Amino acid sequence: MRIDIFTLFPGWFEWFLEQRHVRNALTIGHVVDPVDLRATTPLKAGQVDDTPYGGGAGMVIRVDVVEAALAARYGADRGERRVIALAPGGRRFDDALAAELAGEPELTLLSGRYEGFDERVHEQLATDVVSIGPYVLAGGELAAMVVADAVLRKLPGALGHEESAVEESFSEALEGAPEYPHYTRPYDWHGHTVPEILLSGDHAKVREWRLERSRERGRGPT
Ligand SMILES: C[S@@+](CC[C@H](N)C(=O)[O-])C[C@H]1O[C@@H](n2cnc3c(N)ncnc32)[C@H](O)[C@@H]1O
């Protein structure tokens, strides 16, 4: 998997790329490449944005700037590539979308700033517009990291310990529900003890208990 992230702030990803699970993924051949949107702008003095037609506060990232950045990296024909513009109002990112994106050989993430992208970026250059939640961040960098992180951990071998990705929140193994509770030592913490079933050594019963807790969480508070 190759994930190119177009951004005005490539430096934000230095920390992300150093994290162990991301380094693991890179070690086995996956690529995460931050691309500076400003580096290929066709405008003078590194300009990438402009004032909005119709007036209003803030600046808008220009469509010709994004077009030039994509063309510099991929040429005129982007083929079947998924180009995902990050925007608060887009399709909500969830585990199913992470799994879908993990099936792609390559992904492009467009990380916005200011008032966001000119709408023609969403309509003409992107294949998808994705939101990580109903709130507004200062920029798409954190959103891109969320998407890249969730997608990378779906890739075979990327975690270094396969089982953890098979049985976790929203997985098929847990019927799409949140994961069951975990406990470790101490057994008794200020009178709050660990459920006895987990100490029973009866694997079938432990499994049944965990599935039931997971289903309960999936049903939400009653
Ligand atoms: C300040 S936001 C723009 C907000 C926009 N004016 C609005 O009200 O919807 C700047 C950039 O941050 C990113 N961003 C902010 N919140 C996001 C979210 N919840 N999901 C995905 N991207 C987000 C987008 O790339 C966006 O272009």
CATH (domain of 66): 3.40.1280.10
Say which CATH number the domain at 205 has: 1.10.1270.20
pLDDT in tens, 178-192: 999 999 999 999 999
Q: Is residue 102 part of a domain?
A: yes
- The last residue of a domain, from among 94, 129, 152: 152
- The last residue of a domain, from among 121, 152, 183: 152
User: Is the pLDDT at 137 greater than 60, yes or no?
Assistant: yes
Residue 124 and residue 204 share a domain: no
Cα dihedral 146, 147, 153, 157 in deg (nearest 10): -130
Q: Is residue 60 part of a domain?
A: yes
What is the rounded average pLDDT of the residues 86-112? 97
Residue 86 and residue 35 share a domain: yes
Question: Within 13 Å, how many C-alpha atoms sit on residue 96's CB side?
Answer: 5
Domain count, the chain: 2
Ligand 1 atom nearest the C-alpha of 111 is 25
**Lowest mean pLDDT segment, chosen from 50-54, 170-174, 190-194:** 170-174
Residue 175 and residue 146 share a domain: no
The answer, yes or no, to whether any atom of ligand 1 lies below 6 A from the CB of 34, is no
**Lowest mean pLDDT segment, chosen from 65-69, 159-163, 184-188:** 159-163
Q: Is residue 13 part of a domain?
A: yes
Q: What is the pLDDT of residue 52?
A: 97
Q: What is the pLDDT of residue 162?
A: 60
Contact of 7 with 145, CB cutoff 8 Å: no
Q: What is the pLDDT of residue 53?
A: 98
Q: What is the pLDDT of residue 219?
A: 95
Q: What is the pLDDT of residue 221?
A: 83
Q: Is residue 132 part of a domain?
A: yes
Ligand 1 atom nearest the C-alpha of 58 is 6
What is the rounded average pLDDT of the residues 29-53? 98
Q: What is the mean pLDDT of the chain?
A: 95
Q: How far is the CA of 91 from the centre of ligand 1 (A)?
A: 13
Ligand 1 atom nearest the C-alpha of 89 is 9
Contact of 124 with 63, CB cutoff 8 Å: yes
Residue 83 and residue 41 share a domain: yes
What domain range is 198 assigned to?
A: 167-219
Residue 210 and residue 110 share a domain: no
pLDDT in tens, 200-212: 999 999 999 999 9
What is the rounded average pLDDT of the residues 110-115? 98
What is the rounded average pLDDT of the residues 89-104? 97
Q: Is residue 211 part of a domain?
A: yes
Q: What is the pLDDT of residue 186?
A: 98
User: Is the pLDDT at 163 greater than 60, yes or no?
Assistant: no
Phi, psi values for residue 102, rounded to 5°:
-65, -20
**Lowest mean pLDDT segment, chosen from 17-26, 80-89, 164-173, 186-195:** 164-173
Q: Is residue 159 part of a domain?
A: no
Q: Is residue 162 part of a domain?
A: no
Selection from 48, 50, 30, 37 nearest residue 5 by Cα = 37
The answer, yes or no, to whether any atom of ligand 1 lies below 6 A from the CB of 60, is no
pTM: 0.95
The answer, yes or no, to whether any atom of ligand 1 lies below 6 A from the CB of 68, is no
The answer, yes or no, to whether any atom of ligand 1 lies below 6 A from the CB of 145, is no
Q: What is the pLDDT of residue 14?
A: 98
Residue 180 and residue 125 share a domain: no
